[in-house]
Structure 1
Amino acid sequence: MMDSYESVILVKSEVFVYNIPPRTTNRGYRAADWSLAEPSWTGRMRLVSKGSELSIKLEDKNTGELFAKCPIDAYPGIALESVSDSSRYFVIRIQDDNGRMAFIGLGFGDRSDSFDLNVALQDHFNWLKKEKQISEEPTGPKLDLQFKEGETIKINMKITKKDGSEASGKAKSHAGLGTGLLPPPPGGSGLRLPAPPGSSPASSPAHAPKPDLISESWGDFASAQSTAPPATSPAGNNSNWVQF
């Protein structure tokens, strides 16, 4: 599992350890009370995490041998405190495998090193806080979107032809396509077909001979001409015209 692996968060190649006097007041620790010019130990610091556990390990620069270990369960907290007169020094609580604890002073040669330690500690505990919030959020029931046995789905689809029109499942009916003839004009007027040969006018009134519509029309036209006044001949009015 991933929790069994140790992850290195921060490494500082040189830190200083000081023996500090017991705190007699509630003002906090002051680095000026330490012998800053004579540190009791100098070595490497590593900030490591293992799952949710976090600790500072003080190790020998060359061999990597562990000098002291400071488990940190909260920040800010009693395991690591800043001094009141400097940003480069801290008081840490070290602990051995038997559970014995002691407080020592920890110092950095540059302010940027102590700033990196503060940022790394804040990031780690903010991450733990978010992980806890996510784990405590209620989770609703999961939706089952799989088809049940015998369940089907119906999809309505429109098929578009190449000319852009939509195909229909029913054929359109067109008038007159079965006979090939145009329908008769309204009113029943128009040309009539002659009676079939060999039929008697008396046998079928429908095939009785009808008057010629064309000759009747021309007769009307002739009668209209007869009623019109005769046209005056130009030759009768002027003797100079020659009549051919």
Structure 2
Amino acid sequence: MAADGQLEYESVLCVKPEVNVYRIPPRASNRAVRAADWKLDAPDWTGRLRVTARGKVAYVKLEDKISGELFAQAPMEEYPGIAVETVSDSSRYFVLRIQDDNGRKAFIGIGFGDRGDAFDFNVALQDHFKWVKQETEFTKQALLPDSTPKLDLGFKEGQTITINIGQTKKKDRARPHSSGGLGLLPPPPGGKLAPPPSSKFANQNTQPSTGGSESGFLLDLDSSNSNSEAPSNSASTTSSDLWGDFDSVTHK
């Protein structure tokens, strides 16, 4: 049971059907342990190995193959560590520190007949304690106060926002053309338009008309809106008088 009163379930990390157990001599010095110093051809016990986890603690359990009765177990809170150590001359053998319910400890040697089983055993322990390290870091970060500046997206007092949806196009369609543009103009009062200039007078202008003259003509039409009647024969009278002067000169 956990310290906070909640139950901790035991999960199985790895199971290997056969493992050999060896009595190992006490260490005479700090030199690395060698499996060649054990009696590898005569193991002291053979059974099943099961790696479990309860919370952050892992357990290496040695059990009977048939009955499942517990022979010994090694609780461990870190890896690599003193609870499980590798040997210097082989990747298939390990030193295991077992512990009973009374707290007594002893060191034994374990070995796998297949190198792949030893690899799986090693990876299962590494993965578990990698997860333990990540959980510890997450817990520390959760307890630390958040010092990063927070972005304030709220409205200040008196601040408003206006959103126009689907109104721009309506305004464009409803906007009338100005009188100075090239669009259609409203008819003048009374329904009468100023007559076009006579052909003779128009032939005197040898320059092509430009956009400025057109706009000026349209502006004249706009100014005609203020008069009730437009002069009808002023342009033709001027034209006839002008050509009459030229005729009189040629006859002289």
With normalisation by structure 1, the TM-score equals 0.66
Tell me the residue number matched to 2:49.
45
Distance 1:43 1:146, change over 3 A: farther
Structure 1 position 16, deviation (Å):
0.6
* Alignment of 1:159 onto 2:161: no
- CA offsets 1:81-137 (integer angstroms, 9 cap, x no match): 122332221111111122121111111102222122222222222222222222223
Structure 1 residues 214 and 18: CA distance shift in structure 2, 3 A: closer
1:153-191 CA deviation, whole Å, 9 max, x = no partner? 432446354xxxx62598547557596474346xx9x95
Structure 1 residues 178 and 132: alpha-carbon distance in aligned structure 2, compared to 1, 3 A threshold: farther
Q: Which moved more, 1:32-41 or 1:135-144?
A: 135-144
After superposition, the Cα gap between the structure-2 partners of 1:228 and 1:96, relative to the gap in structure 1 and judged at 3 Å, is same
1:106–1:157 distance in 2 versus 1, CA, 3 Å:
same
**Do 1:43 and 1:58's aligned partners in 2 also have CA atoms closer than 8 Å?**
yes
DSSP-derived class of the 2:82 partner: coil
Which residue is equivalent to 1:200? none
Instruction: Tell me the residue number matched to 2:210.
Output: none
Do residues 183 (structure 1) and 222 (structure 2) align? yes
Which one of 105, 113, 118 corresponds to residue 114 of structure 1? 118
Find the residue that maps to 2:124 and give its secondary structure: helix
Q: Deviations over 1:58-89 (max 9, x none)?
A: 11112211111101122221111122332221
Does 124-133 or 41-50 show the bigger shift? 124-133
Gap regions ≥5 residues in structure 1: 194-210, 231-244
Residue of structure 2 aligned with 1:125, choices 101, 126, 129: 129
> 1:5 is matched by which residue type in structure 2?
Y
Report the aligned-residue RMSD: 4.0
Quick one: percent identity of the two aligned structures? 50
1:96 aligns with 2:100: yes
Matched, 1:68 2:72: yes
**Structure whose alpha-carbon radius of gyration is higher:** 1
Is residue 2:247 matched to residue 1:225?
A: yes
Query: Any unmatched runs of 5+ in structure 2?
Result: 180-184, 192-220
Query: Residue 4 of structure 1 corresponds to which residue in structure 2?
Result: 8
**Cα pair distance change 1:45/1:173, threshold 3 Å:** same
Aligned mates of 1:19, 1:78 — CA distance in 2: 17
- More deviation, 96-105/24-33: 24-33
> What is the number of residues matched between the two proteins?
206
Opposite residue 102 of structure 1, the aligned amino acid is A
What SS does structure 2 have at the residue aligned with 1:183? helix
Between the aligned partners of 1:169 and 1:212, the Cα distance in structure 2 is: 41
Report the AA paired with residue 96 of structure 2. Answer: I
Alignment of 1:9-24 (within 5 A): 9-24=13-28
